[in-house]
């Protein structure tokens, strides 16, 4: 506890760096959409994808605010495990009905309503970048192929690390 008090500022310094890396990786995944050579996306640059991802990241700020409100006013009697595993409007909150394996916690946290809104903003951004030449359904499939595959890869890595550390 004493060393944690000494190094409290490190988490605040590292957080913008981690969010920046996440934004760059998601924009990198979305940048592969240009390989499909679709009409309306010829002049789209990396910075345009970066802007869409930065706008979409505000969804997770709302999720963090929702979590704060939940633990400050709605459920003030919580344990440290509750605080660590809770994610607003996600499948992890249904752990009485779903598997409680430790490696399943992260995929269940990722499966939430805020992630759905994040995808919707990314899809809407792609349709706007193409000046509505790429329809919503096509843009959704493009986001699924690029960001979705990257997200599945990331979740697989995290689950592997959790399983490796567990045994």
Instruction: Look at the block and give the residue holding tokens 């899809």.
Output: 123
Total domain count for the chain?
Answer: 1
Asked if residue 9 belongs to a domain, the reply is no
φ/ψ region of 132 (left if φ > 0, alpha if ψ in -120 to 50, else beta) reads: left
pLDDT number for residue 122: 98
pLDDT for res 50: 97
The answer to whether residue 69 is domain-embedded is yes
Q: The tokens of 124 are what?
A: 């809407």
Residues spanned by the domain of 159: 18-166
3 within domain boundaries: no
Question: pLDDT per residue over 90-137, tens digit each?
Answer: 988 887 777 668 888 899 999 999 999 999 999 999 999 999 999 999
How confident is the model over 39-63, as pLDDT tens digits? 899 899 999 999 999 999 999 999 9
Instruction: Tell me the pLDDT tens digit for each residue of 77-92.
Output: 988 888 888 888 998 8
pLDDT at site 98: 76
The separation between CA 117 and the C-alpha centre of its own chain, rounded to angstroms, equals 10
Q: Say what the pLDDT of residue 112 is.
A: 95
CA distance 156 to 107: 9
**Mean pLDDT, the chain, whole residue set:** 91
- Report yes or no on 39 lying in a domain: yes
37: left (phi over 0), alpha (psi -120 to 50) or beta: left
Share of the chain above pLDDT 70, in %: 98
Would the CA dihedral through 75, 79, 82, 83 be positive or negative? positive
pLDDT of residue 1: 61
Determine the distance from the C-alpha atom of residue 98 to the mean position of all C-alpha atoms in its chain, rounded to a whole number: 21
Let me know if residue 11 belongs to a domain: no
Say if residues 53 and 26 touch (Cβ distance below 8 Å): yes
Determine, yes or no, domain membership for 154. yes
Extended beta strands in 104-151, E state: none
Q: Are residues 91 and 108 in contact, defined by beta-carbon separation less than 8 angstroms? A: yes
DSSP letter at 90? Answer: B
Is 133 within the bounds of a domain? yes
Phi and psi angles of residue 88, each rounded to the nearest 5 degrees, phi first: -55, 135
Residue 63 forms part of a structural domain: yes
Q: Is-contact 135 17, C-beta < 8 A? A: no
Residue 8: pLDDT band with limits 50, 70, 90: confident
């Amino acid at each position: 506890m004493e060393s944690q008090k000494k190094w409290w500022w490190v988490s605040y310094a590292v957080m913008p760096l981690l969010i920046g890396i996440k934004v760059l990786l998601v924009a990198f995944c979305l940048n592969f959409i240009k390989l499909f050579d679709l009409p309306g996306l010829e002049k789209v640059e990396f910075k345009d994808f970066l802007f869409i991802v930065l706008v979409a990241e505000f969804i997770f700020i709302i999720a963090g605010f929702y979590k704060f409100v939940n633990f400050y006013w709605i459920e003030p009697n919580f344990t440290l495990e509750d605080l660590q595993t809770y994610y607003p409007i996600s499948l992890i909150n249904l752990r009485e009905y779903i598997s409680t394996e430790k490696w399943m916690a992260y995929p269940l946290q990722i499966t939430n309503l805020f992630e759905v809104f994040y995808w919707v903003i990314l899809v809407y951004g792609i349709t706007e970048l193409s000046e509505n030449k790429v329809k919503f359904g096509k843009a959704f499939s493009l986001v699924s192929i690029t960001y979705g595959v990257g997200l599945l890869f990331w979740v697989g890595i995290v689950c592997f690390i959790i399983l490796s550390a567990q045994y």
